[in-house]
Chains A and B, each alone.
Chain A
Amino acid sequence: EVQLVESGGGLVKPGGSLRLSCAASEFTFSSYTMNWVRQAPGKGLEWVSSISGSSNYTMYADSMKGRFTISRDNAKNSVFLQMTSLRAEDTAVYYCARERTSYYYDRSNYSFDLWGQGTMVTVSS
Chain B
Amino acid sequence: SSELTQDPAVSVALGQTVRITCQGDSLRSYYATWYQQKPGQAPVLVIYGKNNRPSGIADRFSGSSSGNTASLTITGAQAEDEADYYCNSRDNSGNQVFGRGTKLTVL
A binding-site residues for B, Cβ under 8 Å: 35, 37, 44-47, 50, 59, 61, 95, 100, 102, 104, 107-113, 115-118
Report A56 CB to chain B, min CB distance, Å.
13
Highest count of chain B CB atoms <10 Å: which of A104, A107, A117: A107
B45 at the interface (CB under 8 A from A): yes
Q: Which of B37, B42, B44, B45 has the most CB of A within 10 A?
A: B42
B33 proximal to A (CB < 8 A): yes
Q: CB-CB < 8 A to A47: which residues of B?
A: 88, 95-98
B83 to chain A, nearest CB (A): 13
| B70 → A minimal CB distance (Å) | 10
Cβ–Cβ contact B98 & A111, under 8 A = no
Check B49–A115 contact: CB distance below 8 A.
no
C-alpha spacing A109/B27, complex, angstroms: 10
Find A95's partner among B43, B49, B94, B95 (CB 8 Å cutoff): B43
How many interface residues does chain B have, given as a range?
A: 20 to 34
Question: Are B42 and A102 in contact (CB-based, < 8 A)?
Answer: no
Known: A45-B101, A116-B42. A104 touches B49 (CB 8 A): yes
- A112 B90 Cβ-Cβ under 8 A: no
When the two chains form their complex, are residues A108 and B50 in contact, meaning their CB atoms are under 8 A apart? no
Contact B48 A102 (CB under 8 A): yes
Q: Are A111 and B30 in contact (CB under 8 A)?
A: no
| A116 nearest CB neighbor, chain B only | B42
Cβ distance A30 to chain B, nearest Cβ, rounded Å: 20
Q: How far is the CA of A34 from the CA of B52 in the complex (A)?
A: 21
Whether B44 and A115, one on each chain, are in contact in the complex, defined by CB atoms closer than 8 angstroms, is yes
User: Digit string of B43-83 for contact with A (CB within 8 Å is 1, else 0)?
Assistant: 11100111010100000000000000000000000000000
Closest to A107 in B: B31
Kindly report which residue of chain B lies nearest to residue A6, judged by CB atoms: B42
Which of chain A's residues have a CB closer than 8 A to the CB of B29?
107
List residues of chain B with CB within 8 A of the CB of A116.
42
Taking a contact as CB atoms under 8 Å apart, the answer to whether A110 and B86 are in contact is no
Q: Decide: B101 and A102 in contact? CB cutoff 8 A.
A: no
Q: Is B19 interfacial (CB-CB < 8 Å)?
A: no
Which parts of B4-47 form the interface with A (CB within 8 Å)? 29-33, 35, 37, 42-45
